Amino acid sequence: MSHLPLPPVTRKLGESGLEISSIAWGMWRLAEGGRSAKEAAALVHAALDAGITLLDTADIYGFDGTSGFGDAEALLGEVLAAEPALRARMVLATKGGILPPLPYDQSTAYLNKAIDDSLRRLKTESIDLWQVHRPDILTHPQEVARALEDAVAAGKIRTLGVSNFTIHQITALQHFLSQKLVTTQPEVSPLRITCFENGELDQAMTMGLVPLAWSPLGGGRLASPVSERDRAVAAALDVVAQEQDVSRTVAAYSWLMAHPAGIVPIIGSQQADRINEGVRALHVNWTRENWYAVLVAARGERLP
């Protein structure tokens, strides 16, 4: 039986000239447990040495409900300050637009401040990919577009992306932007399959957006399935994992990467060996039969 095409090693971020690895590493959990800058540096090295060049963070990572806003960025900033040469090896992505206790704020004043604060914490002169973390219903997309374009013109950020936006919100923001959005970051995993059928990935393909998949293991649930559905999805992934001698985790990343939209899973692990192992997903082969078996297990019912 023939296989679906393997993913390329790198992908282009639109027409920006930036290229990223087909698998990313995320730092949502970097500041958890009082990790030192030395320990954080070891993880950054693990990702870069494995060939992972897209490193994803956000200003809110580290926030525990009461404090810690900015901590993950600040920790990465310490790593970069100690070893400035690392900066050129990565495509640095961050996000903003959420400042508790307010749900979302994308007013010009707030965006300007959020971007400046991220630059300061990250100890870098510019951010390669700046993403609106979640849509602010109360700011007109024209205002968001203008603030972001001004930040690009000032050299503070290079490319733009969104996260958790609906299809219409993406269309509206793009309408007011003179430069193209390059990424969208929805939650996608073998346990979260809505974007396969709701048009989000079709829009990404139409607009040339790279879809960055957050929580590609369902926040770790695929590694330790809890429900009957989790177990069914895990079993369908295990068929390919066992056949090709990889872990279920790697099979899960590769299942996402087999989609024609060119999904880039963001590895969430903060363990060097697991980050390193993740890139094996570049070499896992999927037949249509095996791929659809995972989808059907996730749907919980046959396709029509």
* Residue (215 or 254) nearer to ligand NAP, CB: 215
Rounded least distance, CB 36 to ligand NAP, Å:
16
- Per CB under 6 A, does 255 bind ligand NAP? no
Residue carrying structure tokens 């000239």 = 17
* Residue (73 or 78) nearer to ligand NAP, CB: 73
Judged on CB neighbours under 10 Å (0-12, 13-18, 19+), 26 is buried
* Residue (174 or 189) nearer to ligand NAP, CB: 189
Work out which of 106, 118, 183, 269 binds ligand NAP, going by CB under 6 A. 269
Residue carrying structure tokens 């009461």 = 66
Work out which of 27, 157, 258, 281 binds ligand NAP, going by CB under 6 A. 27
User: Does residue 61 carry a catalytic annotation?
Assistant: yes
Residues of span 126-185 touching ligand NAP by CB under 6 A: 163-164, 185
Number of residues that bind ligand NAP (CB under 6 A): 24
- Per CB under 6 A, does 21 bind ligand NAP? no
- Per CB under 6 A, does 286 bind ligand NAP? no
Rounded least distance, CB 35 to ligand NAP, Å:
11
DSSP-derived letter for residue 187 is B
Rounded least distance, CB 57 to ligand NAP, Å:
7
Tokens of 122: 């990250």
- DSSP track, 63-126: --SSS-TTHHHHHHHHHHHH-GGGGGGSEEEEEE--BTTBS----HHHHHHHHHHHHHHHT-S-
Work out which of 40, 241, 266, 293 binds ligand NAP, going by CB under 6 A. 266
Tokens of 46: 């693990």
Nearest to 71, CA basis, from 118, 134, 112, 126:
118
- Per CB under 6 A, does 35 bind ligand NAP? no
- Per CB under 6 A, does 194 bind ligand NAP? no
Residue carrying structure tokens 């900066």 = 87
Please state, in angstroms and rounded to a whole number, the distance separating the CA atoms of residues 92 and 116: 15
- The catalytic residues are 61
